[in-house]
Amino acid sequence: MAIDTTIRDGVLSIAFARPEKRNAITTAMYAAMGAALRGAATDDAVRAVVVAGSPGVFTAGNDLGDFLANTSGGLALPIAHFMDALVDLDKPVIAAVTGPAVGIGVTLLLHCDLAYLAEGATLAMPFVALGLVPEFGSSYLLPQRLGHARAAQCLLLGEPMDAAAALAVGLVNAVVPPAAVVERAMQAAARLAALPTGAVQASKRLLREPQREAIRRAIRTETEAFGARLRSPEARAALRAFFERRGT
């Protein structure tokens, strides 16, 4: 399935496990992650969630082969179900960004509560170069977090952000040696799992509530635009070019 999940000491850990494809996320992986998050929402044994990459890479984002094969005219439902489950979860989510994150790998960080990033890792959102547009709230949340100019640098120019910049703008809580990222995230998760559960969840709801409707609206608008872009000749050409460059 290329997703490893474990529940231990109140913490659900969801780890990408497709390193040979830089943890590019397939529809089946989104389905597995969405199911794990929906299970976590109602499982009293889960009090915090960690989303982790594998050594050296967080994720290369959506599987571009899946995008190319998608002729349905819109985003595949499992992606939306996974992101809905993430956006709706009252339990705290911590990202262990073990290496570079691309596309939805960066978008999902905007919906996590805490994030730890590997030294040397970059965050990139090359949607426009692929003929696509930002998705799942990033066109709303990134300018809000970074200001318009720096968000445009990421979302329009597609310039990767290095770890120091990600820390400086508050996208992550700390930059740590790559081998320590998962442990650091697990420590934070353990601390959250040990706190009064009702208070943690009520506090997370309060932190998120003022933005909830605006995020939902942004996601609806982005999803419509993304579907149209996915069908566009620009995107089809850019996606084909990715694989042609590799001779696959």
Residue ranges binding ligand COA (CB under 6 A): 21-22, 24, 60-65, 100, 102-103, 126-127, 130, 246, 248
Q: Pick the closer one to ligand COA by CB: 102 or 115.
A: 102
Q: What is the DSSP string of 192-239?
A: HHHS-HHHHHHHHHHHHHHHHHHHHHHHHHHHHHHHHHHHSHHHHHHH
Distance CA 127, CA 101 (A): 13
Task: Rank residues 42 and 248 by Cβ distance to ligand COA and give the closer one.
Answer: 248
| Residues 188 and 116: beta-carbon distance below 8 Å | yes
Closest contact distance (angstroms) between CB of 28 and ligand COA is 13
Give whichever of 127 and 188 is closer to ligand COA, judged by the CB atom: 127
Closest CA to 16 of 63, 59, 79, 65: 59
> Cβ of residue 198: shortest distance to ligand COA, in angstroms?
38
Q: Based on CB atoms, which residue is closest to ligand COA, 11 or 238?
A: 238
DSSP 3-state percent helix, strand, coil across the chain (nearest 5): 55, 15, 30
If the CB atoms of residues 171 and 186 are measured against ligand COA, the closer one turns out to be 171
Task: Report the C-alpha dihedral over residues 69, 75, 107, 153, rounded to 10 degrees.
Answer: 80
Distance in angstroms (rounded) separating the CA atoms of residues 41 and 225: 30
Q: Which residue is nearest to ligand COA (CB)?
A: 103
CB of 75 to ligand COA, least distance (A): 11
Nearest-approach distance from CB 24 to ligand COA, in angstroms: 3
DSSP bridge pairs for 174: 116
Q: DSSP H helical segments within 72-196, as ranges?
A: 77-88, 104-107, 138-146, 148-155, 163-168, 181-194
CB of 18 to ligand COA, least distance (A): 9
Tokens 């982005």 map to which residue? Answer: 222
CB of 127 to ligand COA, least distance (A): 5
Pick 46 or 130: Cβ nearer ligand COA? 130
